[in-house]
Structure 1
Amino acid sequence: MAILEVKNLKKIYTTRFGGAQVQALSNVTFSVEPGEYVAIMGESGSGKTTLLNILAALDKPTGGDVLLNGKSLGSIQEKEISVFRRENLGFVFQDFNLLDTFSIQDNIFLPLVLSHKKYDEMAARLQPLVEKLGIREILKKFPYEVSGGQKQRAAVARALVTHPQLVLADEPTGALDSHASDELLDLFGRINREGQTILMVTHSTKAASHAKRVLFIKDGEIFHQIYRGTQTAEELYQKISYTLTMLATGGAEHD
C-alpha cells in the first residue's frame, strides 16, 4: 500500500484585490511507496511549493485529496493537525529553521518535548542519530556557532528523531556550499537505504539525481517522471537536464 496518495489535487487562489483567480495546481495525481526517495522539480511558479505545503498539511487544497497511510489529511480537525504533523512528518528546510536560543541538542529534542516524551526516551532516540549524522561534537553548541552543513545535519536529526512516516525536504541543499551539499545528499541516500521514505522539492539537478524517481511539474500538473532504475547518478543527471530543457522550451518529453 502506498504511504502517500495524492488524488486529483487542485488549488485555486483568489487574489486580494480584484478577485482574480490563480490556479496553482490543476490536477496532480501520484503516489509514493514506502521506502521511496522522490524528487519533485519544476520552474519557479510551477506549483512545487504549493504542493509541498498541502502535503505538509500547512495548506488545504481546493479540490482532491491527500492520504498518508490511508488517512485523509482533509479529515483531520484543525486542533489535531499540529499533533498529526509532528507525529507523522519530518521536515528539512532550506533555511534550517533552528532556534538560535536553543542548543543543537535542544533543537533536535523540540518535537519530542512538544509530544511530552520523557528525557530518557529522547536521549535513546538521539543516540543512534548522533553517530549516523556525525553531530556529537556540536550537540552543546548553538546554531550560530556551527557551519551551514552542521546546521542542516542537525535539522535532519530533528526530522528523524520522531520516527516519521515521511520526510519532506524543501530545497535542502539550497543554502549549502558544494561540499556540504554532497555530504547531505550522501546522508539522504543512506537514510533512504535504511528504509526512510523521502520526498524532496528541489531546483538542483544534482540533488534530484540522487533520488530514485523524479517528478516534473509544469503549470500545476505532473508533466513527466523519470525512474532511476539501474541508471547511475550521472546518467540520471543527464536525463533530468534534458527534461528541464523541455520544460523551459515547451517541448514534448519522450523516453
Structure 2
Amino acid sequence: MPLLEVRNLKKVYTTRFGANQVQALSDVSFSVEEGEYVAIMGESGSGKTTLLNILASLDKPTSGDVLLNGRNITAIKDGEICAFRREHLGFVFQDFNLLDTFSIEDNIFLPLVLSRQPHKAMQQRLGPIAQKLGIGEILQKYPYEVSGGQKQRAAVARALITNPQIILADEPTGALDSKAATKLLRMLHDINADGQTILMVTHSIRAASHAGRVLFIKDGEVFHQIYRGQMTNDELYQKISDTLTVLTTGGKDVE
C-alpha cells in the first residue's frame, strides 16, 4: 500500500457572494511510496500550491480523497487536525517560519513542546539531527543572528524532530543563494537516503533534479511525470527543462 494516495482531487473556489467559481484542481490522482523523494512542478496558477495545502491538511478538497498510510486526512475533524498534522507531517517553508523571539533550539523543539514531550527526550532527538545538519554551533542563537541557509537547516530539523511519515517542502530553496541551496539539497538527498519520504513543490529545475520522481501539474491535473531511473542530476535537469518547455508552450507530447 502506498504511503500517500491522492484520489481524484478536485478543488473549486467560489468568490465572494458566489459570483464566480475558480477551479484550482480538476482531477488529480497519484501515489507516493514510502521512502520516495517526489518533486511537483508547474506554472503559477497550475494548482500545485492548492494541492500542497490539501496534502498538508490546511485546506479541504471539493471532492476526492487523500490517504496517508490508509487514513483519509480529508475526513479528520477540525478539532483533531492540528494534532494529526503535528504528529504525522513535517513542513519546510520557503520563508523558514522561525520565531525571532525563540532560539534556534527552541524553534526546533516547538512541535514537541506542543505535544508535551519531556525535555530530556527532546534533547535526545535533537542531538543526531543537529549533527547531521551541521547546526550544533547555532542552537543557542536566534534566527536573526544566522544566515538564510542556517535558518533553513533549522527548519528542516524542526520538520524531522517529530519523526514524520512525510516531509512536505514548499519551495525550500526559494530564499537561498546558490551555495546554500546546493548544500540544503544535498542534505535533503541524504535525509531521503536514510528512508525519509519527501514531497517538494518547487519552481527550481535544479531543486527538482535532486528528486527521484518529478510530477508536472498543468490546468489542475497531472500532466506528466519523470522517473529518475539511472539518470544523473544533470541528465534529469535537462529532461525536466525539456518537459517544462513543452508544458509552457502548450504542447501535448512529451517523450
Q: Shared topology, TM-score over 0.5?
A: yes
- For residue 37 of structure 1, report the CA deviation from its aligned partner: 0.1
- For residue 75 of structure 1, report the CA deviation from its aligned partner: 2.2
Deviation string for 1:113-148 (max 9, x for gaps)? 000000010000001011100001100000000000
CA contact (8 A) 1:243 1:253 kept: no
CA contact (8 A) 1:224 1:253 kept: no
Amino acid at match of 1:180: A
Amino acid at match of 2:19: G
CA contact (8 A) 2:246 2:254 kept: no
Q: State the distance in 1 between where 2:224 and 2:204 align.
A: 17
Q: State the distance in 2 between where 1:217 and 1:73 align.
A: 22
Partner of 1:248: 248
- For residue 233 of structure 1, report the CA deviation from its aligned partner: 0.3
Partner of 1:32: 32
Partner of 1:197: 197
Partner of 2:128: 128
- For residue 19 of structure 1, report the CA deviation from its aligned partner: 1.7
Correspondence 1:218 to 2:196: no
- For residue 18 of structure 1, report the CA deviation from its aligned partner: 5.5
CA contact (8 A) 1:41 1:202 kept: yes
Aligned counterparts, 1:227-242, within 5 A: 227-242=227-242
- For residue 198 of structure 1, report the CA deviation from its aligned partner: 0.1
- For residue 253 of structure 1, report the CA deviation from its aligned partner: 2.9
User: SS of the residue aligned with 2:2?
Assistant: coil
Partner of 2:8: 8
Partner of 2:111: 111
User: SS of the residue aligned with 1:172?
Assistant: coil
- For residue 26 of structure 1, report the CA deviation from its aligned partner: 0.2
Deviation string for 1:22-46 (max 9, x for gaps)? 0000000000000000000000000
Amino acid at match of 2:216: F
Amino acid at match of 2:215: L
- For residue 17 of structure 1, report the CA deviation from its aligned partner: 5.1
- For residue 74 of structure 1, report the CA deviation from its aligned partner: 2.1
Q: State the distance in 1 between where 2:75 and 2:22 align.
A: 25
Correspondence 1:54 to 2:76: no
Aligned counterparts, 1:28-177, within 5 A: 28-177=28-177
User: SS of the residue aligned with 2:16?
Assistant: coil
Query: RMSD between aligned alpha carbons?
Result: 0.7
Q: State the distance in 1 between where 2:43 and 2:88 align.
A: 29
User: SS of the residue aligned with 2:65?
Assistant: strand
TM-score by length of 2: 0.99
- For residue 83 of structure 1, report the CA deviation from its aligned partner: 0.2
CA contact (8 A) 2:213 2:226 kept: yes
Query: Percent same amino acid among aligned pairs?
Result: 73
Amino acid at match of 1:114: L
| Runs of 4+ displaced beyond 6 Å | none
Question: Which runs of 5 or more residues in structure 2 are unaligned?
Answer: none
User: SS of the residue aligned with 1:26?
Assistant: strand
Distance 1:155 1:15, change over 3 A: same
CA contact (8 A) 1:7 1:30 kept: yes
- For residue 16 of structure 1, report the CA deviation from its aligned partner: 1.4
**Count of residue pairs brought into register by the alignment:** 255
- For residue 77 of structure 1, report the CA deviation from its aligned partner: 1.0
Q: State the distance in 1 between where 2:76 and 2:193 align.
A: 31
User: SS of the residue aligned with 1:187?
Assistant: helix
Question: Which runs of 5 or more residues in structure 1 are unaligned?
Answer: none
